[in-house]
Amino acid sequence: MGTYEGLQGIWVLCGVRDGQIDRVSRELLGEAERLGAVEGMKTTAVVLGREIPQIRGADHALVVQDDSLSVPEELRWTHELYHLVRRYRPQVLLLGANGFGRSLAPRLAARLGTGLTADCTALDMRDGLLVQTRPAFGGNLMADILCPDARPQMATVRPRVFRAPDWEAARPCEILREPPAGPDTLSRLVEITGFTPSGQDAAIGEADILVAVGQGIGSKENIAMAEKLAELMGGALAASRPLVDGGLVPYAHQVGQTGRTVAPRLYIACGISGAIQHLAGVAAEKVVAVNIDPDAPIMERANWAILGDCGAFLREMVDLYTTSPPSVLPDRHSK
Ligand SMILES: Cc1cc2nc3c(=O)[nH]c(=O)nc-3n(C[C@H](O)[C@H](O)[C@H](O)COP(=O)(O)OP(=O)(O)OC[C@H]3O[C@@H](n4cnc5c(N)ncnc54)[C@H](O)[C@@H]3O)c2cc1C
């Protein structure tokens, strides 16, 4: 049973990447602080692992440090978190909707017998309840989902939905160390044969410039051209869902409702119509659209709309960028 009242508020399960709390967790800690202020709830950063990084931006940090937690792995994490939640009974538990969070959250919710809202795009507090907003019915409406009875109220949130607060300025936490839970009687991890963090995942989520391809791209050669341009500009390749479904581009590059939410400074959409499910994932500062249809919805969203063939556009851009890069394209580091 709960023994520490301060831990019964809002929890954020924090991921660790390159020895630091990862970006989506920082974003969630910032949002948890805002939500906590609405209802006077304390916030807790929950960190599991062999190495524990510097933790900030919450009232408390609940830490379980153990060699067996060296690799994020769903069975082990579910077991540990189940016992932490049962012990302290938080009201809210937030997780990043990255690959691991998406896989872990439903297992944990099922074991705890509570609800889960996946891929939220907004959160709020109303009378002690977490208002979990997410697209529904193919992205045609936004649903507010409540979990009035079971606890904790669990939600996953995509990276880049919230802004990460300034980490250096974030307040220090009171660190509370918890021993690992006893043996897991429900499951046993026999062996981990390998663990490869997805570099591609990070590339599209964190790039300042994305060159995105859609069904109008026309050929594999043009996809390669788009990738080349992205590389020359120091960015990454993105894609609409049909190209991923067609096996032309890996899923890690998909932008949209069932892909990633991206927030680059510049999004160059080549042969993409701008369907609502695609635009749901585009939180770019500026959009360039290249399309042969002046009435394509992406042209409305674009800051610069280029009417024409995207293959020709890409060839010309690669050519220009190869011959005289700085003078023809915006400097990605300038504000
Ligand atoms: C539940 C659900 C979830 C979905 N999730 C996603 C998602 O996460 N991401 C996603 O992208 N989609 C998603 N979709 C699919 C979405 O509805 C659209 O079908 C998809 O985004 C269309 O992809 P597109 O723009 O590449 O293709 P199209 O809509 O076919 O558009 C192709 C565009 O290329 C233009 N074009 C053609 N030739 C050229 C040329 N030579 N040069 C320049 N332009 C040209 C055309 O004018 C057109 O505008 C989802 C759908 C559903 C129902």
Burial of 57 (0-12, 13-18, 19+ CB in 10 A): buried
183 in a structural domain: no
Q: Full-prediction pTM beyond 0.75?
A: no
Using pLDDT thresholds of 50, 70 and 90, give the confidence band for residue 96: very high
The number of distinct structural domains making up the chain is 2
252 in a structural domain: yes
CATH of the domain at 89: 3.40.50.620
The pick from 210, 273, 298 for probing ligand 1's pocket by mutation, whose C-beta has the most ligand atoms within 8 angstroms, reads 273
Residue 66: which domain range?
5-177
Looking at the structure, do residues 152 and 34 belong to the same domain, yes or no? Answer: yes
Q: Is the CB of 292 under 6 A from ligand 1?
A: yes
Share of the chain above pLDDT 90, in %: 68
SS3 category, 133: strand
Tell how far the Cα of 241 is from the centroid of ligand 1, in angstroms: 7
Looking at the structure, do residues 165 and 290 belong to the same domain, yes or no? Answer: no
79 in a structural domain: yes
322 in a structural domain: yes
What is the rounded CA–CA span in Å between residue 17 and residue 134? 26
Looking at the structure, do residues 18 and 129 belong to the same domain, yes or no? Answer: yes
Looking at the structure, do residues 212 and 119 belong to the same domain, yes or no? Answer: no
Looking at the structure, do residues 118 and 236 belong to the same domain, yes or no? Answer: no
73 in a structural domain: yes
333 in a structural domain: no
pLDDT tens per residue, range 228-240: 999 999 899 999 9
Residue 112 predicted with pLDDT over 60: yes
Q: Residue 27 in contact with residue 94, Cβ under 8 Å?
A: no
What is the rounded CA–CA span in Å between residue 104 and residue 52? 20
Omega before 152 within 30 of 0, i.e. cis: yes
CATH of the domain at 212: 3.40.50.1220
Ramachandran assignment for 20, one of left (phi > 0), alpha (psi -120 to 50 degrees), beta (any other): beta
Looking at the structure, do residues 293 and 238 belong to the same domain, yes or no? Answer: yes
Token pair of 196 as six digits: 């490869």
Share of the chain above pLDDT 70, in %: 90
